[in-house]
Chains A and B, each alone.
Chain A
Amino acid sequence: MNPPDPSGPDGRLPRLAGFADGELDDQTRKQVAEWVEADPTAAELLRDQEQLTPANTEFWAAVAPPQPDEATWEAVRRAVADRLTPAEVDTPAPTWGDRAWFAAAAGVALAVLAAWLAFGRLGPPDKATEPPVVQSTPTPREAGDPLAEFAVLELAGPDDVLIEAVSGDVPAGGYAADSPACDPMPLAGPDDVTLVGVRPGPRDLRPSCGLCPKPGDAPMIYAAGPRTR
Chain B
Amino acid sequence: MAQAAVPTASPSDDALLAGFAAGDVAALDELFRRYRGVAYQVAYRLLGHEADALDAVQDGFVNALRHLDRFRGHSSFKTWLLRVVSNAALDVGRQRRRRDTWVTSPPADDPGPVDPISPPDGHLDRADLRRLLDRALAALPEAQRRTFVLHADGGLSYREVADALGISIGTVMSRVFYARQKLRAILTDQVFP
Contact = CB atoms under 8 A, between A and B. Distances in A.
A81 interface: yes
B173 to A, nearest CB: 4
B57 interface: yes
B58 A76 contact: yes
15 contacts: A11-B170, A14-B178, A17-B176, A21-B151, A54-B155, A63-B130, A65-B50, A68-B40, A76-B32, A76-B36, A77-B32, A80-B28, A81-B25, A84-B65, A90-B25
Contacts of A88: 23, 25
Interface stretch (A45-53, A106-114, A117-125, A215-223): A45-53
Interface stretch (B94-102, B108-116, B179-187): B179-187
A95 interface: no
B53 interface: yes
A195 B132 CA distance: 82
B126 interface: yes
B62 to A, nearest CB: 5
Interface in A66-98: 66, 68, 72-73, 76-77, 79-81, 83-85, 88-90
Chain B interface size range: 35 or more
A17 B50 contact: no
Interface string B55-73: 0011001100110000000
B176 A48 contact: no
B152 interface: yes
B173 A23 contact: yes
Interface string A1-35: 00000000001011111100101000000000000
Interface in B155-184: 155, 157-158, 169-170, 173-174, 176-178, 180-181, 183-184
- Interface residues of A, dominant DSSP: helix
Nearest to A52: B180
Contacts, number: 98
Interface of A: 11, 13-18, 21, 23, 45, 48-49, 51-54, 59-60, 62-66, 68, 72-73, 76-77, 79-81, 83-85, 88-90
Contact of B53 (A11, A59, A65): A65
A15 B173 contact: yes
B29 to A, nearest CB: 7
A60 B23 contact: no
Interface of B: 23, 25, 28-29, 32-33, 36, 40-41, 44-45, 50, 53-54, 57-58, 61-62, 65-66, 126, 129-130, 133, 151-152, 155, 157-158, 169-170, 173-174, 176-178, 180-181, 183-184, 191-192
Contacts of B170: 11, 14
Nearest to A15: B173
Nearest to A60: B152
B130 A89 contact: no
Given A16-B177, A48-B180, A64-B130, A89 B25 contact: yes
A18 B171 CA distance: 11
B152 A63 contact: no
Given A65-B45, A68-B40, A48 B184 contact: yes
Contacts of B61: 80
Contacts of B180: 17, 48-49, 52
